[in-house]
Structure 1
Amino acid sequence: MSGPGWLLRVLGGLPKPAKSVPDDDDPVRSVTRDRIGEYLLERDYRFVVDDDGDLTGTWDGNRFWFLLLGEADEIVQVRGRWNRSLPLEQRGAVSLALNDWNRERIWPKAYVREEEGMLALYSEVSADFEPGASDHQLAQVLACGLGTGVQLFTSMDALMPGDDALPPDVPDN
């Protein structure tokens, strides 16, 4: 498991005491994969472009994808997959845990899917940026997707301890 350095990079350092006033120097622009990549590079995150053209990397051993969805790629989605799979027999316990998570928290949306006879847990944070997004708005959604996704998976690690995961194919952030 990596140290807390990535979390400080997500949060941009220590929290500020007061909300900042919107900056006219931060214009609203179309959201693109290049802009998402710039955000990740500015924080020294390691990622790759997969066969579908999506950006993907691992945080604390969990895979995350940065997707553009919708007819005009106007929806930004940060989707995470927990680094472990569980047997189908644990569906009831997993469903209860994820239901508790979704009831008590706004982000991320958490759900379970059956994949190759096992259960896979996912997190999602999505935002519709049809009119575009400022750099600050885009950064806020990306940081939320990563930060809350890692929190979900850390919570699941505590609820359902297991063996260490296999090393990822992309260096961990």
Structure 2
Amino acid sequence: MSAAEHEPTVLPPLSTARIAERLDARGSVYGTDKDGDLVGRWDGHPFWFITLGQTKEYLQVRGRWARQVPATEFGNVLLGANAWSESMVWPKIFVRIEAEQVAVYTEHTVDYEHGLTDEQLDLHLTIGIASALRFFAGLEEKYPDAVATVPTAPAPPEYTDPARPTLD
């Protein structure tokens, strides 16, 4: 065996530019928020594509249900999120109160410290978006009269993510 056969494969690092390239390849409409994160809408729900960590090695696809229900439904929504999490691998779901209403977020985060292929990046984006949309569809069925909380137009660059972590 040659020495070249024993050399590890070097994968390209995660970057916002690479995420944008993959979104462009899909024909996605997105913008950049004030934190420099990419943000777009799928089925009316905002999604952020966030790089985290000291060297921005973590990719997090965060979705937010575009509707809200009264705070009195917090326990029911939380129980639904927990039931989902008991049987599904993705996404992580969290529920919180914002302005007297229940807000629901999803996250799919992976560490790419050693780089990743375009195929892995595409898969991460697909899982992060599709699994969140599946959960949101269940909420829409349970709460058909839920009030829309975000505009239905594409996410404007100035839209801020209220659940954005404050530490990298």
TM-score (norm 2): 0.82
Counterparts of 1:11-90 in structure 2, within 5 Å, are 28-90=11-73
What is the match of residue 168 of structure 1? Answer: 152
Show CA shifts across 1:27-49 (max 9, x none).
61110000000011101000000
In 2, Cα distance between equivalents of 1:27 and 1:84: 43
Secondary structure of the residue that 1:114 maps to in structure 2?
A: strand
**C-alpha distance 99-52 of structure 1, shift in aligned 2 (>3 A):** same
Show CA shifts across 1:128-157 (max 9, x none).
000111111111111100110111101110
Deviation at 1:117, TM superposition (A): 1.9
What is the match of residue 102 of structure 1? Answer: 85
CA contact (8 A) 1:113 1:120 kept: yes
Secondary structure of the residue that 2:97 maps to in structure 1?
A: strand
Show CA shifts across 1:46-79 (max 9, x none).
0000111000011001000000011110000000
In 2, Cα distance between equivalents of 1:99 and 1:62: 21
What is the match of residue 106 of structure 2? Answer: 123
- Point out where structure 1 has 5 or more consecutive residues left out of the alignment: 1-25
Query: Which protein has the larger Cα radius of gyration, Structure 1 or Structure 2?
Result: 2
Structure 1 residue 146 and structure 2 residue 110: aligned? Answer: no
In 2, Cα distance between equivalents of 1:137 and 1:58: 21
Deviation at 1:114, TM superposition (A): 1.5
Q: Percent identity?
A: 37
In 2, Cα distance between equivalents of 1:49 and 1:80: 15
CA contact (8 A) 2:68 2:146 kept: no
In 1, Cα distance between equivalents of 2:58 and 2:146: 36
After the TM superposition, which segments of 4 or more aligned residues of structure 1 sit over 2 Å from their partners? 163-169
The residue type equivalent to 1:168 in the other structure is T
Deviation at 1:159, TM superposition (A): 1.4
Equivalenced residue count is: 146
Name the Cα RMSD after superposition.
1.6
